[in-house]
Structure 1
Amino acid sequence: MRRRLLIACSVSLAIALTACAGGAGAAPRYTISAAQLEGAVAGKFPRRYPVAGLIDLNLQAPRLRLLPAQNRLGADMAVLASGPALRRSYQGGFDVDFGLRYEPSDRTIRATQLRVNALRLEGLQPPAAEMLNAYGPQLAEQSLRDVVLHQLREQDLAVADGLGLQPGGIRVTAQGLVIDFVPKPR
């Protein structure tokens, strides 16, 4: 038991010294690639959303866009709309963008602050289109609110935790996400 503790402390110290050796500005960070994000989100779709018992929207897995200049992600989803109010099925697209937040209770990166850019359904009559446009922001909130984009494992945070750090800001880069670590509050 004592030997394991000594080994764990030695490894932590070595990692800490390596992190410090990079210079005063070097700080630990965790990177998530664009491919990792796509894979995690794809597993959450397709999703079906009934709208007031009149329309059913079926959203397919989104294609994610990295928006580093806005520090946001964009998502384009194929949509199939059907139901009693439409009398037939319509295909189209749903375009949103959103910010990111870290949820410490389960170590996840989640979507937040959603904005609807467009909801398009080909051949839809104006009254039905108006109803969908009225519900568009609400549908975006339901479809992507708190969608888990990535979950950090305990071992991903072990060294940072041992150094008294926790995930802080999340930056969107051209390659994916970078999570910076900050000191834990005392």
Structure 2
Amino acid sequence: MRRRPLLTFALCLPLTRLAGAQASEPEADDAPAGLPQYKVSAAALQAAVGQRFPLRYPVPGLLNLDVQLPTLHLLPALNRLGAEMAVEAAGPALNRSHQGTLDVEFALRYEPTDRTVRAHQLRLKRLQFPTLQPGVVALLNTYAPALAEGALLEVVLHRMRPQDLTLPDGLGMQPGSITVTPEGLTIGFVPKPLS
């Protein structure tokens, strides 16, 4: 039966606006005409990630790595987000505390079980500590991938409310693509698979 996809598309044509403060009309270049979209601002993403920080990662008997609130960067050309975090290393193995930075990039995915947009496919760009000896930095870099994953992998960047999905769900649609734009994210809706 081909009626359901055609009916869904026909019903979506006049519904270029979803209910809710974050929904908006599709832009000409963003998506096929008439398909609903849901937008998330860069400020909303930053606020969501801020709920998880600061974090502490102990290296038993040696030091603690304290990770501060990341600053998110939108990378539309890569369809990814970047995050830069201040990191403080201190403990018995170091004479004093040292300030550094951790830079990562990550993609996004939608998790339907809890209606969230999450960070995944993390890429470590660099971990720098300008005041530490190169040998110590090399040792810390062995912990850097685990530090980056612990800080941001699968972090919830946005949670859609049930009412944000009521209309699309009723039309047989679900969140599909997630596109990083200069303003934030645009979540496109696609027809649900026929069962």
Which TM-score band (shorter chain)?
A: 0.7 to 0.9
Select the residue among 118, 125, 134 that pairs with 1:110.
118
User: In the alignment, does 2:175 pair up with 1:167?
Assistant: yes
Contact 2:16/2:36 (8 A) holds in 1: no
User: In the alignment, does 2:55 pair up with 1:47?
Assistant: yes
TM-score by length of 2: 0.82
Q: Deviations over 1:70-113 (max 9, x none)?
A: 00000011111112222321111111110001111111101001
Contact 2:14/2:34 (8 A) holds in 1: no
Contact 1:48/1:58 (8 A) holds in 2: yes
Percentage identity across aligned positions?
Answer: 56
Letter in 2 for 1:19: L
Q: Which of 63-72 and 49-58 deviates more?
A: 49-58
Q: Which residue of 1 aligns with 2:4?
A: none
- Tell me the distance in 1 between the aligned counterparts of 2:155 and 2:125: 18
- Tell me the distance in 1 between the aligned counterparts of 2:109 and 2:13: 29
Q: Which runs of 5+ in 2 are unaligned?
A: 1-10, 18-25, 27-31
Q: Deviations over 1:33-83 (max 9, x none)?
A: 001101111111111111354221111111110000000000011111112
Change (3 A) 1:40 1:128: same
Q: Which residue of 2 aligns with 1:126?
A: 134
Change (3 A) 1:16 1:182: closer
Select the residue among 80, 95, 113 that pairs with 1:87.
95
Contact 1:37/1:149 (8 A) holds in 2: yes
Larger relative helix fraction: 1
Letter in 2 for 1:180: G
Question: 1:51-66 alignment to 2 at 5 Å?
Answer: 51-66=59-74
User: In the alignment, does 2:164 pair up with 1:156?
Assistant: yes
Q: Which residue of 2 aligns with 1:96?
A: 104
Q: Which runs of 5+ in 1 are unaligned?
A: 1-14
Q: Which residue of 1 aligns with 2:21?
A: none
Q: Which residue of 2 aligns with 1:18?
A: 14
Contact 2:117/2:159 (8 A) holds in 1: yes
- Tell me the distance in 1 between the aligned counterparts of 2:174 and 2:142: 40
- Tell me the distance in 2 between the aligned counterparts of 1:18 and 1:121: 54
Change (3 A) 1:156 1:20: closer
- Shift of the alpha carbon at 1:116? 1.1
- Tell me the distance in 2 between the aligned counterparts of 1:94 and 1:17: 45
Q: Which residue of 2 aligns with 1:3?
A: none
SS at match of 1:69: coil
Contact 1:86/1:128 (8 A) holds in 2: no
Q: Which residue of 2 aligns with 1:144?
A: 152
Q: Deviations over 1:122-161 (max 9, x none)?
A: 3112221111112211211111111110100000111010
Letter in 1 for 2:15: A
TM-score by length of 1: 0.86
Contact 1:85/1:128 (8 A) holds in 2: no
Letter in 2 for 1:178: T
- Tell me the distance in 2 between the aligned counterparts of 1:70 and 1:90: 32
